[in-house]
Amino acid sequence: MYIRAASNISPQNTFGNQPFLSELAEYTGDRLTCIEPDYKTLIDPKLLRRMSRIIKMGVAAGTACLHGAGIDIPDAIITGTAYGCLEDTNTFLSKMVQQNEEALAPTAFIQSTHNTISAQIALLLQCHNYNNTFVNGGASFENALLDAMMLLYEGEACNVLVGGIDEITVNGHVILHRMGLYRRGLTSNLELLQSWGKGTMAGEGAALFLLCDQSSGSDWAKIDGVSGFYKPRNIAEIQQQISNFLSAQNVCVDDISLLITGKNGDVKNDSIYQQIQQAVFIETPAMGYKHLCGEYPTSSAFALWLTANILKTGSVPATIGQATTPVKKILIYNHYQMIHHSLILLSAC
């Protein structure tokens, strides 16, 4: 698959024609929130009134992505989300209690379903083509990518709009914080990966990509392969999965210019990446990305946007690190709470 265009609303200045991570936004605490654009310039103000925050982010990112690719209507729209429209769900359930289940407005219920974002994009575009949403926890975005790959491989579509979208709400954040997922005390996201401790920082984002089966000559990057595996028993099994994946792509470890991992500052979470780097990628430059966007189930969509930009520009921004060799192939390895593991291999066009 070729990435024709991409759009990303995240806790960093990534939306629109911004310089590629020339300056990093710093957050202190246990939560990173998206820097949102002026939606009135992207979406009809009359429609904005009925949209929750996550729908605005998804629709705006999707619209901008299609505009960047010069495509009016895609052959398919596929999204991945673990949490869905949490704010609408919370609103509807709260009103059920407050109003004793009587005289309830249906809007919040209608928009609380996980597929609302892809449906809203299709409604605005008047797109009647394939439309699907994957809700598989930490594997949601990867499954959306695999679905797109199958559509393109089977000739069912020539271009597909694919995205990973999740938001963090006040109530959702409180619940996950009680479960011990996030840091207690003040922590800067820019120091997150250097200050190991218990827990990480919450994040959110909406990253969408226009994927095509043919090269246009001006693509951002090429996705060579996507793979996922579930609850590996030990490090040896993870090593075997990585070896099998690279072999299937006819690639060896020495061909990887850069390894991007899902390190998030949590000791237990990051120990897996440390062991894999020491066992497999000893000589390969590596860097993390979750200090930029925070931890959430579809954060690998942010990693894909970051990787595509690095391959497009041919260099790693000085604000996040540097690669000592020309960047030609990048491997993304991420796991979410040690349950869902994924590998995405990209190469320069």
pLDDT at residue 323, as a whole number: 65
pLDDT at residue 252, as a whole number: 96
User: Nearest 5 degrees, angle CA 92-CA 95-CA 99?
Assistant: 145
pTM reported for the whole predicted model: 0.95
**Position 302 confidence tier, pLDDT thresholds 50, 70, 90:** very high
pLDDT at residue 324, as a whole number: 63
User: SS3 for 347?
Assistant: strand
β-sheet with 221-230: strand ranges across: 130-134, 76-80, 159-166, 205-212, 2-9, 221-230, 340-347, 329-336, 258-261, 286-288
- For residue 103, pLDDT beyond 80: no
pLDDT digits (tens, 9 = 90+) for 215-241: 998 999 999 999 999 999 999 999 999
CATH topology of domain 221-347: Peroxisomal Thiolase; Chain A, domain 1 (3.40.47)
Range list of H helices, 86-161 = 86-98, 107-110, 116-125, 140-153
**Position 109 confidence tier, pLDDT thresholds 50, 70, 90:** confident
d(CA 311, CA 327): 7
Domain(s) of CATH 3.40.47.10: residues in the chain:
2-212, 221-347
CATH number, span 2-212 = 3.40.47.10
**Position 85 confidence tier, pLDDT thresholds 50, 70, 90:** confident
Task: Calculate the average pLDDT of the chain.
Answer: 94
d(CA 300, CA 334): 7
Q: What mean pLDDT do residues 25-48 have?
A: 94
Q: What mean pLDDT do residues 41-52 have?
A: 90
DSSP 182: B
Q: Which of 95-104, 188-197, 282-291 has the lowest mean pLDDT?
A: 95-104
